[in-house]
Amino acid sequence: MTMKIVKSLREPMRLMAALIAAALGVVAMSSLQASAQDPQLQEKVQALKEAAAANKAAMAQYTWVQQETVALKGEVKKQKVFQVRIGPDGKPQKTPLDAAAQPQAESGRKHGLKHKIKERKLGELEDYAKSLGALAQQYARPEPGRVQEAAQAGNVLTGPAGVPGMVQLVIQNYLKTGDKVTFVFDQQQKALRSIQVNSYLQDPSDKATITVQFAQVPNGPTHASLITVNGESKQLTVTLENTDYRKL
């Protein structure tokens, strides 16, 4: 009898919890939707576009060092260091700096099925890490054209970022169908502060989350100082840390 009473009470409680969660989601979303109707939306979009374009042009005059760290389930598997600069196509060009620091291959050739399986798995993880890194770089450099297209399609919402002088622009379907990008923008300094991304690789089920933190280059523009991307399916994390900026 007691079990029946407890069971009968659980269902209304679950329903109430679901309703409360839904209501909170509606309240949070409505604040952004209300902001999306703000006549100053285009002004905020324009400010983000101009900042992104100015940074892109300024960074073409710099070179910097990037450390790439790959971790599987929290355990560091590989680290590499590159000298980076922006190429003629507007994309980062990397030159390895630490070839001598990489672990040397074990002497002698190994044979056997176990070794081949291990090599294949390592190759798959390396390819996966490269895909994650490439995806993160696409989101870390906002494209003014994509931002404008999203605004024209009604895919941009704005709202407070929780810090005075900061505003967030939330864009749906920015780079891929179903993705979500949140830009935190400093209106006073006209500079990006962070980017949060929910996206995926080739298949929407292969989810990836990306965090980009920006910092001021000494006497220069702001740039992505730390990029972290998590590939959920393989529990693989790729971290890109940029330092030692120098003018060309």
Nearest alpha-carbon partner for 189 in 165, 160, 159, 162: 165
Give the global pTM: 0.77
pLDDT tens across 167-226, in order? 999 999 999 999 999 999 998 888 999 999 999 999 999 999 999 999 999 888 899 999
Q: How confident is the model at residue 3 (pLDDT cuts 50, 70, 90)?
A: very low
Q: How confident is the model at residue 240 (pLDDT cuts 50, 70, 90)?
A: very high
Lowest mean pLDDT: which of 25-39, 116-130, 234-248?
A: 25-39
Checking if the pLDDT of 27 tops 60, the result is: no
Q: Which of 112-116, 150-154, 186-190, 212-216 has the highest mean pLDDT?
A: 212-216
Is the dihedral angle over the CA atoms 141, 226, 65, 235 positive or is it negative?
negative
pLDDT for position 42: 85
**Cβ 238 vs Cβ 69: under 8 Å:** yes
Distance between CA atoms of residues 200 and 208, nearest Å: 5
Nearest alpha-carbon partner for 236 in 114, 66, 78, 65: 78
pLDDT for position 24: 41
Distance between CA atoms of residues 169 and 171, nearest Å: 6
